[in-house]
Structure formats: structure tokens, C-alpha cells
């Protein structure tokens, strides 16, 4: 009879789930899983910080639209990963964190790195538990995957003690078909009401978020928007789901559209701070909200029609029910004219010759270089003002090409997100839109990227400050009462060079594009460190900070 350790069984379950990469930082508590992963052909990607391992697993899940896995040792290994799990929870990402623990026979005796771990995750995961014996490893892993992927996705934490991982099980039976792939349809009566409301509306609009990506609803959204002649505004992982030249795609006139819209279709987007807690809409606007989680529907704002279900299925249902709609070309033309006016205003900053360099000029140069020719760029956003301003300019031609932390606003995702992106899509050119402050959180994991041979271009917007905090803080309290918001004009390019990568400092606007081309040509981890004007967001009227 064949005998397998608990660690081997963990690896077998990961392999059965289709996991190809596991992100980790070594610790003896979890060594039996390492051995199992090597046997199963699962690549272990060891980072320089457990938070980075969790972030990388988060990005892996987002890009595969399946589970991502991080593996950390007991005690400080687990607590270091806590922020990554919290970020995944806020962004509804199916991240599995497996944490080691002391042998059960030594627990409560003062073992090395012993602490209560399961309770730490109860409020930021869909499930947190410990596996009590090696025989139950397969059943617990099956439940973990089922919990992560059912309904609204989210993270799970499992603690596994050393003896549970090292002891053997004879002829274990691995579960199969332990979770459904079925998609939830919307209530037909509510779908009919939604289709009728859209057909009767004078000025309907669409706010589409991350579920468009997660539910593979790009084609369904495009079809419905075209059929109903509705303007579409994208956020979160929904960015890029309509190309920049699509007649229904709008980016800079959301406030205008929502001020005029009598019916708004909100798909997979919570009514949180990004939509003014529901106040971004007209008071008399009818909201149609689609969400896989019924408890999200109607949060912060009354909803006329709430439909619980898979975004793709429900959008297809509405399109099938939608009859003739009035001609909305005038409404779309008005919004397009508004887009043109705002783009004209933005163009002045995108072409600015100021020194230090304006954030928008850097973003424009980056967008043009990244999208040149047949390049298929992936952008990882990790920062404050620089990222917020770049998002207004960067063009996304495909879905699934923009990664940002999500609503938790967690800094430090740059290197780990980019590592996962490059592992999964080595053919894509990965650009990290990196703030100088956020570089300090997990910047050492660019060494991980170098070590694993994962070329990427890190574009540091260096304003020598925590800019998104400093500017409003100074506006509120004055310069003298705004401590802890400035940084040194650090040579981040030299830091990456010291790790074995390539770097260049940019201080002139016309140096940006040539430096970016040289960075791409270096075929390694390249850092282009661009000195930015710390007051540009204030002067441009682009400063914003939500509380």
C-alpha cells in the first residue's frame, strides 16, 4: 500500500486544482509541503517577505480567475502575510494562505514561533481553520477551494502543524468534483424588469467593475451596451474590458453621465467610497444592481432592481429580453464632446515640459511606449498620486491588463503582482507604475524577479514624498504641521542595479521615452527613476484622497 505524508497530500490537492506556482518564504515548519511540490512539478517562488508572497498569490488568482496559493512558516511568517490576505479579502480574491505550526504534541508548551493564528483571520477570510490530522488534509483542501470560489470569491487560511505534514497516510483517497463550476442566473422576473427599465430610459448608463473580468463577461457587456446604446464606465479589474476606441466606452465624463442618467446599471461594483457611498447618482435615478452576493445589493443606496447572479449570465439574459430602444446617439455625442474637452485639458499636462517632470507627461510617454507596435503590455499600479494620475492617461487595449491593489489601497503590490504576471504571461511586457513611497514596502522583491529571470520595467515616479498624503495634509494643516510626509530623492535605479538589474535616472521630459526603450531592451528587471514635481497634482487640479 502506498503511503503519503500530509505535505505530499497538500501538494497533490494543489496539483489537482491546477496550481502551477506557489509563493512562499522558507521555514522548516512547512518543509514537507516543499518536498511534495517538487514531486508534483509545482514551482515554488520564494520571495523576500511573506507579505510579498501573499500579494503574488493574490495577483496569480486575479490573472487566472482561480485560486492563488501562498505558503508561509509559523508565527511571524503568518503575521507578515496578514496584510496580503486583508487586501485579497477587500478585493474579493480567492487566495489560500497555508501557515505552518508547531507539532501538536508541543503546542501550548512554548514552541518556537508558537502563537494563536487561526483567530487572526476570522474577520478577513471566508474561512479560517486548522487541519487536525494528515488523513483530513484532502477534505480540508477541497473545502478551502470550494469556499474560496463559491459566491463572492475570497481568501481562506489553513494552519497545518508539523506532525500533520510529516506523518503518513496509507492509500488516501483524493476527492474529486468537490466544487461546482455552474453559473448563477438571475431571477427571470427581475431580468424582465431590468430590460424594460433600460428600454424605457432616456439616458441610461453603465458602471461595470471587477466581476466583468472575474465572470468572463466582456463579450456580454459589450453586446448589451451596443444593443442599448449605453455609455460604459469601467473600474477595478473591469478596466480594459472595452477598448479605448469603442463607441460605448467613456472614461472622463462619469460625473456628467451620472448627473444625467435616469437609469444606471451597476455590475459587480460595490456602492462604496468610489461611488460616493451611493451619492454619485441622481436622487431620482433608478439603480439596477447585479452582484453575485445578494448581501451587497442595496448597500448604502436604495436599488430599484437588484439581481443576484453571475455577471455574464445576467447580462446575457437582459440582452435577450431587451426589445427596441430609443435613439440615444445625441446623449452619447454629448458625452463624447465632454470627453474631448477633458482630453484637451489633460493633453496640456501630458505635453508639459516642466522640470521636475509632470506626472501626466510621464504617464503619456509610458502609455505610448508600452503600446507601441505589437506590444501587449500589462500594467501593475502601486502608488498614490502618480498612479491616480497615470490611470487617466494609460490606454488599455485588452482586458486583464491592469492590476491594482483594490479598495483596501494597500501599497507594496508592485514587485509581487508583477512577478505573478510575468510567470503566467512571459510573452507580455510588464510595466510597474511605482510610487517612490510604495517602492520601499516590497521593492526588495525585484531581486526575486531578477533571481527567477522575470524581465519587467519599473517606472518610479519620484516626488520625494508621500504625495497623496502630503498635499491634502498641507492644505488642511499647513506645512509646519505636516510631518512624516517627505522622503529623500533616492536613486531607486541604483538600488535595482545593485540587485543585478538595470537602471537609469530621468530628469528631463524628453529623456523618458528613450530611457523606457532602453529599459525594455535590457531584458532584465529595469528601473527608470523619474524625478517628478511634488506639487503637480495640486497645480493640475488632480489631487484627491478619499476618507
Mean pLDDT value across the chain: 94
Exposed/middle/buried for 37, CB within 10 Å: 0-12, 13-18, 19+?
buried
Residue 52 within a domain: yes
330 and 356 together in one domain: no
Domain housing 41: 3-170
Instruction: For residues 2-13, give the mean pLDDT.
Output: 96
32 and 68 together in one domain: yes
pLDDT, tens digit, 9 for 90 and up, residues 354-370: 999 999 999 999 999 99
Residue 306 within a domain: yes
Residue where a domain stops, chosen among 115, 136, 170: 170
235 and 383 together in one domain: no
Q: For the chain, how many structural domains are there in total? A: 3
Residue 512 within a domain: yes
Residue 276 within a domain: yes
CB 307 within 8 A of CB 190: yes
User: What pLDDT is recorded for position 477?
Assistant: 93
CB 275 within 8 A of CB 299: no
460 and 371 together in one domain: yes
321 and 377 together in one domain: no
Residue 136 within a domain: yes
User: What pLDDT is recorded for position 140?
Assistant: 98
CATH classification at residue 395: 3.40.50.970
164 and 200 together in one domain: no
pLDDT band for position 546 (cuts 50, 70, 90): very low
Residue 178 within a domain: no
pLDDT band for position 250 (cuts 50, 70, 90): very high
Instruction: For residues 448-468, give the mean pLDDT.
Output: 96
Alpha carbons 412 and 414: distance in angstroms, whole number: 6
User: What pLDDT is recorded for position 111?
Assistant: 76
Q: Could you please report the per-residue DSSP string of 491-521?
A: -HHHHHHHHT-EEEEE-SGGGHHHHHHHHHH
CB 505 within 8 A of CB 434: no
Residue 344 within a domain: no
Residue 179 within a domain: no
9 and 148 together in one domain: yes
The three-point CA angle 199-271-412 to 5° equals 130
160 and 103 together in one domain: yes
pLDDT for 491 beyond 70: yes
429 and 286 together in one domain: no
CA dihedral sign of residues 535, 538, 541, 543: positive
Residue where a domain stops, chosen among 304, 335, 366: 335
379 and 509 together in one domain: yes
Q: Is 371 helix (H, G, I), strand (E, B) or coil?
A: coil
Instruction: For residues 281-294, give the mean pLDDT.
Output: 95
User: CA nearest 198: which of 278, 294, 262?
Assistant: 262
141 and 213 together in one domain: no
Of the given ranges (41-55, 63-77, 107-121, 441-455), which has the lowest mean pLDDT? Answer: 107-121
CATH classification at residue 304: 3.40.50.1220
User: CA nearest 288: which of 219, 216, 187?
Assistant: 187
Residue where a domain stops, chosen among 136, 170, 204: 170
CB 111 within 8 A of CB 102: yes
155 and 260 together in one domain: no
- The pTM assigned to this predicted structure is 0.96
pLDDT for 34 beyond 60: yes
Amino acid at each position: 500500500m502506498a503511503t503519503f505524508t500530509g505535505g505530499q497530500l497538500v501538494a497533490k490537492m494543489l496539483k489537482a486544482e491546477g496550481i502551477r506556482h506557489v509563493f512562499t518564504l522558507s521555514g522548516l515548519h512547512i518543509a514537507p509541503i516543499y518536498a511534495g511540490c517538487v514531486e508534483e512539478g509545482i514551482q515554488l517562488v520564494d520571495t523576500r517577505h511573506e507579505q510579498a508572497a501573499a500579494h503574488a498569490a493574490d495577483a496569480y488568482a486575479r490573472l487566472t480567475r482561480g485560486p492563488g496559493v501562498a505558503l508561509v512558516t509559523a508565527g511571524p511568517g503568518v503575521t507578515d502575510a496578514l496584510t496580503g490576505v486583508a487586501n485579497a479579502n477587500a478585493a474579493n480574491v480567492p487566495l489560500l494562505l497555508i501557515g505552518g505550526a508547531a507539532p501538536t504534541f508541543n503546542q501550548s508548551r512554548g514552541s518556537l514561533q508558537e502563537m494563536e493564528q487561526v483567530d487572526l483571520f476570522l474577520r478577513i477570510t471566508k474561512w479560517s481553520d486548522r487541519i487536525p490530522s494528515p488523513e483530513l488534509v484532502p477534505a480540508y483542501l477541497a473545502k478551502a477551494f470550494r469556499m474560496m470560489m463559491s459566491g463572492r470569491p475570497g481568501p481562506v487560511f489553513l494552519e497545518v502543524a508539523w506532525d500533520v505534514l510529516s506523518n503518513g497516510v496509507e492509500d488516501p483517497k483524493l476527492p474529486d468534483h468537490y466544487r461546482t463550476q455552474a453559473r448563477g442566473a438571475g431571477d427571470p422576473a427581475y431580468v424582465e424588469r431590468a430590460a424594460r427599465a433600460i428600454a424605457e430610459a432616456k439616458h441610461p448608463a453603465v458602471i461595470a467593475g471587477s466581476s466583468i473580468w472575474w465572470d468572463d463577461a466582456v463579450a456580454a457587456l459589450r453586446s448589451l451596451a451596443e444593443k442599448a446604446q449605453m455609455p460604459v464606465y469601467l473600474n477595478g479589474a473591469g478596466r480594459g474590458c472595452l477598448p479605448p476606441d469603442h463607441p460605448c466606452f467613456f472614461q472622463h465624463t462619469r460625473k456628467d453621465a451620472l448627473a444625467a442618467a435616469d437609469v444606471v446599471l451597476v455590475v459587480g461594483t460595490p456602492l462604496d467610497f468610489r461611488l460616493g457611498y451611493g451619492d454619485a447618482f441622481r436622487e431620482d435615478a433608478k439603480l439596477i444592481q447585479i452582484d453575485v452576493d445578494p448581501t451587497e445589493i442595496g448597500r448604502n443606496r436604495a436599488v430599484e432592481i437588484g439581481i443576484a447572479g453571475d455577471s455574464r449570465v445576467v447580462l446575457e439574459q437582459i440582452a435577450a429580453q431587451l426589445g427596441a430602444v430609443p435613439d440615444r446617439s445625441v446623449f452619447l455625442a454629448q458625452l463624447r464632446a465632454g470627453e474631448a474637452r477633458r482630453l484637451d485639458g489633460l493633453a496640456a499636462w501630458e505635453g508639459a515640459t516642466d522640470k521636475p517632470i509632470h506626472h501626466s507627461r510621464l504617464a503619456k510617454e509610458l502609455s505610448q511606449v508600452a503600446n507601441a507596435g505589437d506590444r501587449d503590455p500589462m500594467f501593475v499600479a502601486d502608488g498614490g498620486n502618480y498612479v491616480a494620475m497615470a490611470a487617466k492617461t494609460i490606454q488599455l487595449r485588452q482586458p486583464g491588463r491592469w492590476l491594482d491593489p483594490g479598495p483596501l489601497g494597500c501599497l507594496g503590490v508592485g514587485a509581487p503582482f508583477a512577478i505573478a504576471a510575468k510567470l503566467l504571461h512571459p510573452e507580455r511586457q510588464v510595466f510597474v507604475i511605482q510610487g517612490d513611497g510604495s517602492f520601499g514596502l516590497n521593492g526588495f522583491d525585484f531581486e526575486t524577479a531578477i533571481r527567477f529571470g522575470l524581465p519587467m520595467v519599473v517606472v518610479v515616479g519620484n516626488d520625494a514624498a508621500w504625495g497623496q498624503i502630503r498635499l491634502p495634509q498641507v492644505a488642511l494643516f499647513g506645512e509646519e504641521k505636516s510631518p512624516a510626509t517627505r522622503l529623500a530623492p533616492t536613486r531607486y535605479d541604483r538600488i535595482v542595479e545593485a540587485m543585478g538589474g538595470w537602471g537609469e535616472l530621468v530628469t528631463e521630459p524628453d529623456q523618458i521615452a528613450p530611457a523606457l526603450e532602453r529599459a525594455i531592451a535590457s531584458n532584465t528587471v529595469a528601473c527608470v527613476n523619474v524625478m517628478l514635481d511634488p506639487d503637480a497634482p495640486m497645480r493640475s487640479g488632480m489631487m484627491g484622497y478619499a476618507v
